[in-house]
């Protein structure tokens, strides 16, 4: 069943069959499913909330069906949170790139769409945690483990929250620099983009993902031409650590994402209008 862009049946089956040894693969699958769902709609807080809630609900249903005699429930939920965090980290990065495009063009952060976008970036972590907490309320006996997993992530901080804080600081600093440089706002040229900021951010997210996929293919090609002695170590890294790695990869793919954003934004805006 597809709900909010999420193939819930696939996720439910994955959690129902999961074991502690499959934790990293589970985290990655959750991240990819969440990211695909976010790419299929405008990058608004409401859409993010729906996607996160549906992923969490699928995880709860799957774990409840897991027949293993000694399931590490909290550990599996932690992997689910780590996967969602990894996807939202890229959503924050997409917002950063979109905001920087406007600011570098001389658009003021006092303009309503940008002011709201910056505020939404700050709220991203809160929306993440609130959506999971809401989903956990209908998880029956899993509500306690969900709360424990959430508390653990809150204690160390999510990669989404840390990146959101950095994004706000960077964009504010850039805006102050532009103001000192005395560059005039190109509002007429930017107005169409301002009217569909969420669609632009979604387009940047799609561009980032395409860049990452292209980079992965090139890396795989290089690895197959080598001596074959490479090590796939590091697969066990978890949660925010892996998410940060994804962010670095997203940054390397930034040029391609920026170039792909206008076209992808048109596609995303068209999808939004159809909805």
| pLDDT digits 0-9 by tens, 203-232 | 767 766 666 666 656 555 554 444 444 443
The range of the structural domain enclosing residue 175 comes to: 2-221+238-274
State the pLDDT at residue 185: 45
Residue 198 has pLDDT above 80, yes or no: no
Alpha carbons 91 and 164: distance in angstroms, whole number: 10
Is 232 inside a domain boundary? no
Residue 244 has pLDDT above 80, yes or no: no
Local structure of residue 2 (DSSP, 8 states): E
Q: Which residues pair with 2 in a beta bridge?
A: 7
Checking DSSP bridges between strand 6-7 and strand 2-3, what pairing results, if any? Answer: antiparallel
Alpha carbons 38 and 6: distance in angstroms, whole number: 9
Is 192 inside a domain boundary? yes
Is 174 inside a domain boundary? yes
Is 227 inside a domain boundary? no
Residue 237 has pLDDT above 60, yes or no: no
Residue 181 has pLDDT above 80, yes or no: no
- CA dihedral angle for residue 19, residue 22, residue 27, residue 32, rounded to 10 degrees: -120
Residue with tokens 């976010």: 38
Instruction: Tell me the pLDDT band of 18, cut-offs 50, 70 and 90.
Output: confident
Local structure of residue 184 (DSSP, 8 states): P
Is 226 inside a domain boundary? no
Is 194 inside a domain boundary? yes
Sign of CA dihedral 150, 26, 203, 219: positive
Alpha carbons 48 and 198: distance in angstroms, whole number: 11
- Which of residues 267 and 154 earns the better pLDDT score? 154
Is 228 inside a domain boundary? no
Alpha carbons 267 and 250: distance in angstroms, whole number: 21
Helices then strands (H, E): number in the chain? 11, 2
pLDDT of 43-69, one tens digit each?
899 999 999 999 999 999 999 999 888
Sign of CA dihedral 143, 148, 149, 154: positive
Is 231 inside a domain boundary? no
Q: Per the structure, how many domains does the chain have?
A: 1
Q: Average the pLDDT over each of 67-71, 152-156, 188-192, 254-258 and give the range with the smallest value.
A: 254-258
Give the pTM: 0.68
Is 201 strand, coil or helix? helix
Alpha carbons 76 and 56: distance in angstroms, whole number: 11
Tokens in use for 247? 């962010």
pLDDT of 113-156, one tens digit each?
888 889 999 999 999 999 999 999 999 999 999 999 999 999 99
């Amino acid at each position: 069943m597809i709900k909010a862009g999420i193939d819930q049946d696939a996720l439910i089956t994955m959690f129902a069959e999961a074991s502690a040894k499959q934790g990293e693969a589970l985290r990655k699958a959750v991240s990819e499913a969440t990211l695909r769902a976010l790419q299929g709609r405008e990058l608004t807080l409401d859409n993010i909330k729906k996607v996160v809630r549906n992923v969490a609900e699928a995880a709860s249903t799957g774990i409840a069906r897991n027949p293993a005699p000694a399931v590490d429930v909290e550990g599996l939920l932690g992997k689910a949170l780590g996967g969602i965090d990894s996807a939202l980290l890229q959503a924050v990065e997409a917002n950063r790139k979109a905001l920087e495009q406007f600011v570098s063009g001389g658009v003021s952060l006092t303009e309503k769409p940008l002011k709201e976008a910056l505020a939404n970036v700050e709220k991203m972590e809160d929306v993440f945690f609130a959506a999971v907490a809401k989903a956990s309320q209908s998880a029956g006996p899993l509500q306690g483990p969900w709360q424990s997993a959430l508390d653990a992530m809150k204690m160390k901080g999510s990669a989404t929250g840390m990146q959101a804080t950095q994004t706000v600081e960077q964009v504010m600093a850039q805006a102050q620099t532009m103001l000192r440089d005395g560059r005039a706002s190109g509002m007429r040229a930017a107005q169409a983009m301002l009217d569909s900021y969420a669609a632009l951010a979604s387009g940047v997210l799609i561009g980032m993902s395409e860049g990452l996929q292209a980079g992965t293919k090139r890396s795989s090609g290089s690895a197959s031409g080598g001596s074959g002695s490479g090590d796939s170590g590091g697969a066990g890294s978890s949660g925010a650590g892996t998410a940060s790695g994804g962010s670095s990869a997203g940054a390397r793919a930034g040029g391609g994402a920026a170039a792909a954003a206008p076209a992808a934004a048109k596609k995303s805006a068209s999808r939004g209008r159809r909805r």
